[in-house]
């Protein structure tokens, strides 16, 4: 049989373990509820730099002329003007929007569905965060280097773009069929390399654009953490798209 003296240390250890678990749970909850600044301007911009984490249940104090855009509570909110403002507001859930925007699509699985031949209005905004805009320079974050897809903002005519790697003599021709806004990057012919500059030249006298790819080791499952990852990699175009779609 155990004596009272031998039982006391066990109870103490159990209590300590419970407190530790509670502390971990609280920390995880706090991390999950952390909003992130994605755009900031005005007199208080230095207090709220891009990438700053803010408790989405808290408040911020701004001055006249301030504008702070925050990703918090699963959505984007732009806060303007002097006064004390709540960081997040309850609204319609954006979970389905986020899921569609960040869905990773295999080239082989989606190739036949890529050609949108409908006669609906033309959208100049990408429907998926991982599509590479052939008209815009800058870093591009990639979730899967083996299934990169190119996107153009128009679809009326067939068009071919030439991709060149500055570190190689190889060229890749990416052809968009008529009425199609999406085309595959042939990774077998031109494998992607992180941080290598790629020049994309389009038809006509349009100025070529230069892009670099940055790999995301894991894609966060919430807008706040994904915004932070995009900021850290310098993928501002995708950050703006995320902010717009989650508005």
Using one digit for the tens of pLDDT, what is the confidence trace for 77-124?
999 999 999 998 877 778 899 999 999 876 544 443 333 434 444 557
- Residue-range domains of the chain with CATH: 103-218 (2.60.40)
DSSP assignment of 11-30 equals: HHHHHHHHHHHHHHHHHHHH
Start-to-end Cα distance in the chain:
64
Long-range contacts of the stretch 204-212 (C-beta < 8 A, 24+): 206/135, 209/134, 209/135, 209/136, 209/137, 210/137, 211/132, 211/136, 211/137, 211/138, 211/139, 211/140, 212/138, 212/139, 212/140
Q: CA-to-CA distance for 162 and 173, rounded, in angstroms?
A: 5
* Predicted local distance difference test score (pLDDT) of residue 17: 47
- Specify the range with the lowest mean pLDDT, choosing from 18-27, 159-168, 188-197: 18-27
Query: How many other C-beta atoms are found inside a 10 Å radius of the C-beta of residue 195?
Result: 9
Give percent above pLDDT 90 in the chain.
60
Q: With residue 229 as reference, give the H or E element that holds it.
A: helix 223-233
User: Structure pTM?
Assistant: 0.79
155 vs 110 pLDDT, higher one: 155
Q: CA-to-CA distance for 29 and 126, rounded, in angstroms?
A: 32
Using one digit for the tens of pLDDT, what is the confidence trace for 3-42?
545 444 444 444 444 444 444 333 433 444 689 999 999 9
């Amino acid at each position: 049989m155990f004596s009272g003296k031998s039982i006391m240390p066990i109870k103490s250890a159990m209590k300590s373990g419970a407190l530790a678990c509670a502390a971990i749970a609280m920390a995880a909850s706090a991390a999950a509820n952390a909003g992130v600044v994605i755009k900031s301007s005005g007199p208080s911009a230095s207090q709220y730099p891009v990438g700053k984490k803010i408790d989405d249940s808290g408040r911020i104090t701004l001055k006249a002329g301030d504008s702070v855009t925050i990703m918090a509570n699963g959505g984007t909110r732009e806060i303007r003007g002097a006064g004390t403002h709540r960081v997040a507001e309850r609204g319609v859930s954006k979970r389905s929007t986020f899921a569609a925007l960040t869905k990773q699509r295999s080239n082989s699985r989606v190739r036949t569905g890529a050609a949108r031949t409908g006669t609906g209005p033309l959208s100049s905004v990408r429907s998926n965060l991982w599509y590479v805009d052939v008209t815009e320079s800058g870093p591009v974050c990639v979730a899967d280097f083996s299934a990169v897809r190119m996107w153009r903002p128009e679809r009326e005519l067939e068009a071919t773009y030439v991709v060149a790697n500055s570190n190689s003599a190889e060229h890749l021709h990416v052809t968009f069929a008529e009425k199609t806004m999406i085309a595959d990057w042939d990774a077998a012919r031109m494998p992607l390399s992180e941080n290598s500059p790629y020049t994309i030249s389009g038809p006509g006298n349009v100025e070529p654009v230069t892009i670099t790819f940055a790999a995301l080791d894991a894609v966060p499952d919430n807008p706040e953490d994904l915004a932070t990852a995009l900021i850290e990699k310098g993928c501002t175009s995708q950050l703006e798209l995320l902010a717009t779609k989650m508005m």
